[in-house]
Amino acid sequence: MNRRHLLRGLFGVSLALPFLESFSPRKAEAGAGDVPPFAIFMRQANGVVQQTNDEPEMFWPSQTGALTTESLNAESDRTVSELSAYASRLLLVKGINFAFPGNGCGHSGGGNQCLTAQKVSTDPVGNESLAMGESIDNRIARELNAAGVEPLTLYAGKKAGYINEVLSYRDAKVIRAAEHNPINAYKALFGLSDLDPEVLKRLAAQRKSVNDLVREQMQSLMSRKELGKADRDRLDLHFQSIRDLEIGLQCALTKEEVAAMEVMSPDARSNDNLEKVARMQMDIIALAMACGTTRAATIQIGDGNDSTEYYINGVRQKSFHKISHRIDSDGSEGPPIEGAYLLHHEIDRIHARMFRYLLDKLAAYDFGSGSLLDFGVAVWLNDLGNKYHSYTDVPYVLVGGANGYLKTGQYVDVNGVHNGRLLGTIGAALGCKNAAGGPLDDFGDPELPKGMLTEIIA
């Protein structure tokens, strides 16, 4: 059986023989188009060090236009130079703004908008505010995944409780919880990979038997006449969540990788493990895309106003949030942190390197006609622009052309376009449609001007 057929099997058609060896990076025989395009979104908090009235440009290249490894390396003081090896697949988009004001807490309002392009709720407000519509990963999953298959929603770092998850919205004011523990995420997706085929077959039959009964019970509850809307939505979501076990290709990480996740499990939220956890989550995301498990994934780095204390040159720093404010306080009181913008820049680079790890992983899945990275697009985004926590010039860094749809190898400044246009164009690149059946050109709040971001389309 060649890989082409194996991969086909992932997307709905059950295979006669489960493929039980570990799906590790390898060269495959498939042609282009075997992997439907996908999108991965990695979110950084607290803005980046880019040019403001009192701080120099340390993020973007000095010139827009074509990007080469050499041109990026020549400006090694800029954060994006960390991605120079991917110059030809890189698409730097400056000039993206959030369309709507926050509602009392810049972090919360930015998090609400960065993947939704929706208004920020008035109730609740402040750091509890929520987005007034779904996020792009949800849209992609809803439109392009098999029914009931969620976008993958992962997290790295602690949850300090001020703001936790910010990224993935099912609907207005309905945020999706993110999984912070890699072993849980892995088991949920690939936990049966090491089962014997006969055992797996029996398990599938057992599950079918229970599921049939549970579905019947659910339908009986849902057929009640006196159901309020919230309860109906609740039961619908539950009902859609029940899936039978499909015995298809089994995907797995190596035993060593899984064992490391098991070891990490009790401390997955600890400050010092953030980067390790992020890399484990990225291993899972890359595997999920290689196996066609889902078409959209998010990974949030740190909590809402990332209070992680990152290590720079081996020294544990003050919380990123404080550094981003340039003072030794989460509030308004505190002495300046000396050289804070340089520390912030180093933290930007830490994020760039975490993102590069994801790119390396995706690039390592070689499908002959191209690597996994070429079939999809990985996006490194922020929920704020700069140290002023602004909603303008919010950086979006894209890598991978979504199977040739996006025009990579360039740095564009789109000069103040709302982020719904960018997110919609990414959705369109994957195959999402507007209501009329055309490419998705109206993602986000209905008040926003419609249209594609043509500058980034090949």
Partner 1 sequence: METFSAPSSVMRRIPTLLRAGALVLACLLPACVGTIGGSSEDQAAVQSIPERSAFPRLTHAQWENSVRDVLRLEARPGFSASFTGDPLGGVFDNNEAVLSVTPNLWADYQRAAEELAALVVSDPAKVDALVPADEGQGNEARARAFIETVGKRAYRRPLTGQEVDKLVALFNEAPSLIEGDPFLAGVEHVLSAFFQSPHFIYRVEGTREPRPDGLIPLGAYERASRLSYLLWNTMPDDVLFEAAAAGELDTKEGLRTHAERMLADPQARDVVLAFHRQLFDWRKFEDLYKDPAVFPEFVPEIGKDLVREAELFVEDVVFEQEGGLTELLTSRTAFVNDRLAGIYEVDAPNGAEFGKVELDAEKRSGILTRAGFLAANGTARASDPIHRGVFVNLRVLCARLPPPPNNVPPLPPVEGKTTREIVASHTGKGTCGASCHGTLINPAGFAFENYDAIGRYRSEDNGFPVDAADAYPLGGGMVNFSDANTWSQLLAESREANECFAKNWLEFAYGRDAVVEDAKLIATLGEASRTGMSVKELLLELISSDAFSTRRPVEVAP
Region from 26-34, 43-51, 238-246, 395-403 binding partner 1, contact rule CB under 8 A: 238-246
Q: Are strands 39-44 and 296-301 parallel, antiparallel or unpaired?
A: parallel
The reply to whether 232 sits near partner 1 by the rule CB under 8 A is yes
Out of 33, 56, 161, 416, name the contact with partner 1 by CB under 8 A.
Answer: 161
The reply to whether 149 sits near partner 1 by the rule CB under 8 A is yes
Q: How far is the CB of 102 from partner 1 (least distance, A)?
A: 6
Closer CB to partner 1, 245 or 342, in the complex:
245
Tokens of 325: 């404010």
The reply to whether 314 sits near partner 1 by the rule CB under 8 A is no
**Alpha-carbon distances of 228 from 176, 216, 225, 351, rounded to whole Å:** 22, 20, 9, 44
For the chain, the maximum distance between any two Cα atoms, rounded to a whole number of angstroms, is 68
- Round to whole Å and give the CA distance between 278 and 36: 24
Q: What letter represents residue 190's amino acid? A: F
Q: What is the CA radius of gyration of the chain?
A: 22
- Would residue 404 be called left, alpha or beta, if left means φ above 0 and alpha means ψ between -120 and 50 degrees? left
Helices (H), 78-224: 106-114, 136-144, 182-190, 197-222
The reply to whether 209 sits near partner 1 by the rule CB under 8 A is yes
The reply to whether 343 sits near partner 1 by the rule CB under 8 A is no
The reply to whether 125 sits near partner 1 by the rule CB under 8 A is yes
The reply to whether 177 sits near partner 1 by the rule CB under 8 A is yes
Contact call for residues 375 and 37 (beta carbons, < 8 A): yes
The reply to whether 332 sits near partner 1 by the rule CB under 8 A is yes
The reply to whether 26 sits near partner 1 by the rule CB under 8 A is no
Q: According to CB under 8 A, which residues from 400 to 439 bind partner 1?
A: none
Tokens of 26: 């390898």
The reply to whether 229 sits near partner 1 by the rule CB under 8 A is yes
Question: Is 428 in a helix, a strand, or coil?
Answer: helix
Closer CB to partner 1, 187 or 407, in the complex:
187
Contacts 24+ apart (CB under 8 A), 213-221: 214/242, 215/239, 215/242, 218/242
The reply to whether 53 sits near partner 1 by the rule CB under 8 A is no
The reply to whether 213 sits near partner 1 by the rule CB under 8 A is yes
Q: What are phi and psi of 148, to 5 degrees?
A: 80, 0
Out of 172, 235, 264, 342, name the contact with partner 1 by CB under 8 A.
Answer: 235
- Round to whole Å and give the CA distance between 384 and 366: 35
The reply to whether 164 sits near partner 1 by the rule CB under 8 A is yes
Closer CB to partner 1, 85 or 218, in the complex:
218
The reply to whether 224 sits near partner 1 by the rule CB under 8 A is yes
Out of 36, 95, 106, 439, name the contact with partner 1 by CB under 8 A.
Answer: 106
Closer CB to partner 1, 104 or 409, in the complex:
104
27 DSSP β-pair partners: 366
Q: How far is the CB of 430 from partner 1 (least distance, A)?
A: 20
Q: How many residues does the chain have?
A: 458
The reply to whether 221 sits near partner 1 by the rule CB under 8 A is yes
Region from 13-21, 70-78, 172-180, 394-402 binding partner 1, contact rule CB under 8 A: 172-180
Q: How far apart are the first and last CA of the chain?
A: 35
The reply to whether 73 sits near partner 1 by the rule CB under 8 A is no
- Round to whole Å and give the CA distance between 193 and 319: 39
Q: According to CB under 8 A, which residues from 241 to 270 bind partner 1?
A: 241-243, 265
Out of 71, 88, 184, 369, name the contact with partner 1 by CB under 8 A.
Answer: 184
Out of 102, 248, 400, 439, name the contact with partner 1 by CB under 8 A.
Answer: 102
Mutual orientation of helices 419-430 and 136-144 as an angle, nearest 10°? 20
Helices (H), 11-115: 69-74, 106-114
Out of 15, 312, 327, 364, name the contact with partner 1 by CB under 8 A.
Answer: 327
Closer CB to partner 1, 12 or 161, in the complex:
161
The reply to whether 217 sits near partner 1 by the rule CB under 8 A is yes
Contact characters 351-390, partner 1, x per CB under 8 A: -------------------------------------xx-
